[in-house]
């Protein structure tokens, strides 16, 4: 089996695909709430060094998906070439990332966790969602001066193995090593907090 | 009222989240992407009021192309996130109308910060073409260069801003 | 998840990560395997290609699972292509998904690229693949505008809207010839 679903009938395949999106979202929301990441005070503990749940959840997920996708692809269960890799736009993603991080600590929630917080009754989640919508809306409406920057330094679907001229498996190994080291460090830091 | 259950082990939650992401790869050939739903909704809203304005924006026009499934996919995903979050809180006894905030800040100020922070995240995610779910998680697992750059920058921005906001959270 | 669980998870990750550098490429298109002896046999038995007339018959008969892939440039494809065919650039052919049940017929200008594409698909495990022997050129010569008096399949020519031409007359609507 390889992605995406075979299109035996365009209509029913689309419905199935949306149903899959819904189910995947349910899993995502469930995991975030279970981990407590819908609680802003807990979430920002990451950036005060007291509660590193954000890092642990994020990097465990990345390592699982990284190793899973690599090995499933290697074993011909997943067709890696058919999975869309997010595009690279170096400068906008650097600048956007910095801004995002700043907003993250101000709001205490990110887009995904704010949706979950709102869904569980948290007023701050709801307001963060509203803020994000307005922020994107305003950005899109007043986008003209940013348009050139937005399209700069682009590099469709550029992976670390390609950029570093290393075999994919080597990069996987390096990221796993770094990730595990980071998670050990996180445990140690929390122990000292 | 049931006593709320303890939070799940972060490694277990991370494992589950990683498996959800893998399922998305297998079944749909793509990953997660929450900020895209916001951008798509904004694009759709503007398009309804002024189609030319929407098409003229380099940001919005991306979501108004031929592949309408993209927006539909993102909205279905967010709907799922809301349902999943609700269900998890329901079964864990954590459904609660409240404004979560640091111990030394009032609700009103907290809400102002939530809105402002959200707006800045909206700008950042728009520029970066994604957020933690679409870039850090999905792009991270797929080893996308820009996604790792985003992740590093986001953590850096947050750590740099944290001391400024200490009064709000600690 | 207790201590044991975490250790197990970390252990699995460690093993998975340690073996990854030695596993080769995860991309299917980089792991093609060619059984040269088998392919030579297939070629010798002429089971690697179809003629234009055979392809025309398949299309007319609505052969189930038939998928005609045109490897030519976009302008050539737009000017004329075999009805029902889809254009795929040869660089994206290795990553194009084909179902096991599909019968793939590759078409190019004169059959060269199509024959090469056939090898690619065989290397990636698609056995039910063929190429149009003489390419679009043969299709035009044998199906769309065959020489009168020597038409290989008049009914098929009529079916596809072609017409015989007099001996010596040039082809009416010639797609670019001399390509691969």
pLDDT in tens, A96-122: 999 999 999 999 999 999 999 999 999
Are C49 and C104 part of one and the same domain? yes
Interchain pair B81, A69: CB under 8 A: no
pLDDT, position C97:
87
- What distance in Å separates the CA atoms of residue B111 and residue C1, rounded to the nearest whole number? 35
Whether residue B67 is predicted with pLDDT greater than 90 in this model: the reply is: no
DSSP state of C169: P
Q: Does C13 touch chain B (CB under 8 A)?
A: no
Interchain pair C97, A76: CB under 8 A: no
Q: How far is A189 from chain B (nearest CA, A)?
A: 15
Are C112 and C127 part of one and the same domain? yes
State the sign of the Cα–Cα–Cα–Cα dihedral C78, C83, C84, C90. Answer: negative
The answer to the question of residue C170 being in a domain is no
What are B104-132's pLDDT values in tens digits?
Answer: 999 999 999 999 999 999 999 999 999 99
Give partners of B (≥3 CB pairs < 8 A).
A, C
Chosen for mutation from B107, B158, B169 (greatest number of chain A CBs closer than 10 Å) is B158
The answer to the question of residue C17 being in a domain is yes
Mean pLDDT over A84-91 rounds to 95
- What distance in Å separates the CA atoms of residue C96 and residue A157, rounded to the nearest whole number? 17
Q: Where are the domains of chain B?
A: 8-97, 101-170
Are C48 and C21 part of one and the same domain? no
The model's pTM = 0.88
Scan for tokens 């650097």, then name that residue.
A94
- What distance in Å separates the CA atoms of residue B159 and residue C174, rounded to the nearest whole number? 66
CATH number of the domain where residue C56 is located: 3.40.250.10
pLDDT, position C174:
57
pLDDT, position A2:
41
Q: How far is B155 from chain A (nearest CA, A)?
A: 6
In the stretch 87-126 of chain B, residues with CB closer than 8 A to chain A read 87-89, 92, 94-102, 107, 110-111, 113-126
Q: Lowest-pLDDT range, A116-120, B61-65, C108-112?
A: B61-65
- What distance in Å separates the CA atoms of residue A56 and residue B18, rounded to the nearest whole number? 12
Residue pair B128/B73 in contact (Cβ under 8 Å)? The answer is no
Are C3 and C57 part of one and the same domain? no
Give partners of A (≥3 CB pairs < 8 A).
B, C
Residues of B in contact with A161 (CB under 8 A): 143
What are C21-69's pLDDT values in tens digits?
Answer: 999 999 999 999 999 999 999 999 999 999 999 999 999 999 999 999 9
Chosen for mutation from A21, A50, A52 (greatest number of chain B CBs closer than 10 Å) is A21
> Which strand ranges, in their side-by-side order, compose the sheet holding C103-107?
C49-50, C129-132, C103-107, C66-70, C86-87
Average pLDDT score over chain A: 93
Whether residue B1 is predicted with pLDDT greater than 60 in this model: the reply is: no
Are C117 and C137 part of one and the same domain? yes
Whether residue A123 is predicted with pLDDT greater than 70 in this model: the reply is: yes
Residues of A in contact with B144 (CB under 8 A): 85-88, 157-160
Are C83 and C1 part of one and the same domain? no
- Number of independent structural domains in chain C: 2
Are C94 and C20 part of one and the same domain? no
**A156 — pLDDT class (breaks 50, 70, 90):** confident
Q: Does A166 touch chain B (CB under 8 A)?
A: no
What are A73-83's pLDDT values in tens digits?
Answer: 999 999 999 99
> Using CB atoms within 10 A of its CB, is residue B49 exposed (0-12), middle (13-18) or buried (19+)?
exposed
State the sign of the Cα–Cα–Cα–Cα dihedral C84, C87, C90, C95. Answer: negative
pLDDT, position C175:
56
Average pLDDT score over chain B: 93
pLDDT, position A3:
46
What would the two tokens of residue A93 be? 């993603």
Q: Does B12 touch chain C (CB under 8 A)?
A: yes
Task: Write out the H or E segment, with its range, that includes residue C139.
Answer: helix C135-139
Q: Does B47 touch chain A (CB under 8 A)?
A: no
**SS3 category, C23:** coil
Are C140 and C56 part of one and the same domain? yes
Interchain pair C9, B9: CB under 8 A: no
Instruction: Enumerate the β-bridge partners of residue C70.
Output: C87, C107
Q: How many B×C Cβ pairs under 8 Å?
A: 9
Are C75 and C25 part of one and the same domain? no
Contacts of A174 (CB under 8 A, 6+ apart): none
Whether residue C176 is predicted with pLDDT greater than 80 in this model: the reply is: no
Average pLDDT score over chain C: 92
pLDDT, position A193:
72
Whether residue B45 is predicted with pLDDT greater than 80 in this model: the reply is: yes
Nearest to C135 by CA among C105, C165, C156: C105
Interchain pair B17, A114: CB under 8 A: no
Q: In which domain, by residue range, is C99 found? A: 36-159
User: Which residues of C lie closer than 8 Å to A, measured between beta carbons?
Assistant: 9-10, 13-14, 16-18, 20-29, 95, 97, 99
The backbone torsions φ and ψ at residue C92, rounded to the nearest 5 degrees and listed phi first, read -95, -5
Q: How far is C124 from chain A (nearest CA, A)?
A: 11
Residue pair B33/A84 in contact (Cβ under 8 Å)? The answer is no
Whether residue B68 is predicted with pLDDT greater than 80 in this model: the reply is: no
- What distance in Å separates the CA atoms of residue C160 and residue C156, rounded to the nearest whole number? 6
Please give the residue that has the higher pLDDT: either A26 or B2: A26
pLDDT, position B69:
55
Whether residue B71 is predicted with pLDDT greater than 80 in this model: the reply is: yes
Are C75 and C22 part of one and the same domain? no
Residues of C in contact with B143 (CB under 8 A): none
- What distance in Å separates the CA atoms of residue A96 and residue B120, rounded to the nearest whole number? 9
Nearest-CB residue to A79 (from C9, C22, C97): C97
pLDDT, position B65:
78
The answer to the question of residue C138 being in a domain is yes
- What distance in Å separates the CA atoms of residue C83 and residue C160, rounded to the nearest whole number? 8
pLDDT, position A1:
39
Contacts of C8 (CB under 8 A, 6+ apart): none
pLDDT, position C178:
62
């Amino acid at each position: 089996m390889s992605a995406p679903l075979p299109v035996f009938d365009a209509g029913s395949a689309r419905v199935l695909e949306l149903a899959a999106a819904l189910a995947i979202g349910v899993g995502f929301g469930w995991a975030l709430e279970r981990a407590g990441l819908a609680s802003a005070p807990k979430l920002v503990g990451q950036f005060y060094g007291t509660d590193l749940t954000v890092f642990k959840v994020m990097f465990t997920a990345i390592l699982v998906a990284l190793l899973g996708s690599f090995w499933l692809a290697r074993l011909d269960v997943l067709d890696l070439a058919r999975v869309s890799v997010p595009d690279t736009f170096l400068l906008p993603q650097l600048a956007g990332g910095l801004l995002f991080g700043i907003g993250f600590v101000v709001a205490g929630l990110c887009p995904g966790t704010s949706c979950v917080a709102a869904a569980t009754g948290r007023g701050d989640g709801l307001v963060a969602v509203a803020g994000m919508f307005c922020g994107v809306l305003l950005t899109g409406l007043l986008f003209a001066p940013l348009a050139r920057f937005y399209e700069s330094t682009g590099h469709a679907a550029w992976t670390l193995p390609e950029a570093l001229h290393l075999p994919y498996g080597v990069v996987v190994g390096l990221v796993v090593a770094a990730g595990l080291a980071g998670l050990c460090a996180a445990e140690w830091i929390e122990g000292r907090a | 009222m049931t006593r709320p259950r303890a939070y799940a082990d972060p490694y277990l939650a991370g494992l589950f989240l990683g498996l959800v992401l893998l399922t998305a790869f297998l079944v749909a050939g793509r990953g997660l992407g929450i900020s895209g739903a916001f951008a798509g909704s904004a694009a759709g809203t503007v398009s309804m009021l002024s189609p030319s304005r929407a098409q003229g924006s380099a940001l919005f026009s991306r979501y108004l192309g031929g592949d309408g499934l993209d927006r539909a996919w993102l909205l279905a995903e967010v709907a799922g996130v809301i349902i999943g979050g609700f269900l998890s809180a329901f079964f864990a006894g954590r459904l609660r109308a409240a404004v979560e905030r640091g111990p030394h800040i009032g609700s009103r100020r907290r809400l102002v910060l939530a809105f402002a922070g959200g707006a800045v995240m909206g700008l950042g995610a728009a520029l970066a073409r994604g957020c933690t779910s679409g870039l850090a998680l999905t792009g991270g697992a797929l080893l996308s260069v820009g996604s790792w750059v985003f992740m590093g920058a986001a953590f850096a921005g947050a750590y740099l801003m944290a001391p400024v906001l200490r009064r709000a959270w600690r | 998840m207790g201590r044991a669980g975490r250790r197990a998870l970390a252990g699995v990750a460690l093993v998975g990560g340690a073996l990854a550098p030695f596993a080769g490429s995860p991309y299917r298109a980089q792991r093609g395997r060619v059984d040269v002896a088998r392919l030579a046999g297939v070629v010798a038995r002429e089971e690697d290609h179809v003629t234009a007339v055979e392809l025309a018959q398949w299309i007319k008969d609505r052969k189930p699972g038939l998928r005609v892939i045109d490897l030519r440039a976009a302008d050539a494809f737009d000017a004329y292509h075999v009805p029902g065919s889809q254009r795929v650039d040869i660089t994206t052919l290795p990553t194009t998904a084909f179902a096991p049940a599909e019968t793939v017929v590759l078409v190019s200008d004169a059959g060269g690229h199509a024959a090469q594409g056939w090898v690619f698909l065989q290397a990636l495990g698609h056995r039910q693949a063929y190429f149009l022997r003489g390419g679009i050129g043969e299709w035009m010569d044998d199906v769309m505008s065959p020489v009168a008096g020597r038409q290989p399949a008049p009914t098929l020519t009529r079916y596809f809207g072609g017409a015989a031409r007099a001996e010596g007359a040039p082809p009416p609507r010639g797609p670019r010839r001399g390509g691969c």
